[in-house]
Chains A and B, each alone.
Chain A
Amino acid sequence: GENVEQHPSTLSVQEGDSAVIKCTYSDSASNYFPWYKQELGKGPQLIIDIRSNVGEKKDQRIAVTLNKTAKHFSLHITETQPEDSAVYFCAARGSNSGYALNFGKGTSLLVTP
């Protein structure tokens, strides 16, 4: 089945700096790649997603890039703010995943003032 690896597991940046989180996936037929943000005491919330027919997508300070050849995708957060501190999960939907999204283990991002 689909295997999603996510790095780093923890990331600390200064406010205003950029943060990058990377994920790799194993199923070359995967076609949907969402990113979820989970704040303390809350459930994950979708922040951005990308489909396999697009190489990059941007929404204000966040962007996702997809490299299908290398089978990896990345989340980029620019001008980080303390409220960006949370756990971020990448996920991939493989062709044989049925109804399942396969999630990475998460990255705990800390933005220090």
Chain B
Amino acid sequence: ETGVTQTPRHLVMGMTNKKSLKCEQHLGHNAMYWYKQSAKKPLELMFVYSLEERVENNSVPSRFSPECPNSSHLFLHLHTLQPEDSALYLCASSQEPSLAGELFFGEGSRLTVL
């Protein structure tokens, strides 16, 4: 148990569906992240939020839409995805985004786009 909970753990969706991934952290951290993990590729940072404000967006397509309503919750809204978007989506949190410190990851949401 890392203190970061992601739901759902598995999601299968068609290209025309709209779905959302949810992340909740119980660590009192100020920063939350979305990472994409694909086979044989490095972890890719997608979005960073600090105190509910988006501070980084790594050229992610607009079919991925993040939302951070408070410092404990982070969502990734998905719509009109492509099969190549199938991957493990990892949420993480840290004390502060600007300091070199530990990232605490959730167990991930395995997304399959048909």
A interface residues with partner B (beta carbon < 8 Å): 4, 31-32, 34, 36, 41-46, 49, 51, 89, 93, 98-106
Contact = CB atoms under 8 A, between A and B. Distances in A.
Contact of A105 (B40, B55, B102): B40
B42 A99 contact: no
A103 B2 contact: no
B105 interface: yes
A41 B97 contact: no
Nearest to A46: B102
A4 B100 CA distance: 17
Contacts, number: 57
A49 B48 CA distance: 21
B38 to A, nearest CB: 10
B102 A43 contact: no
B42 A105 contact: yes
Contacts of A93: 100
A42 to B, nearest CB: 5
Given A43-B2, A43-B107, A43-B108, A99 B102 contact: no
Given A41-B107, A43-B106, A99 B98 contact: yes
13 contacts: A34-B103, A36-B103, A43-B2, A43-B4, A43-B90, A44-B43, A89-B42, A93-B100, A99-B31, A99-B48, A99-B55, A100-B56, A105-B40
A102 B102 contact: no
Contacts of B107: 41-43
Contact of B100 (A51, A89, A105): A51
B68 to A, nearest CB: 14
B93 to A, nearest CB: 11
Contacts of A34: 102-103
Nearest to B50: A99
Contacts of B90: 43-44
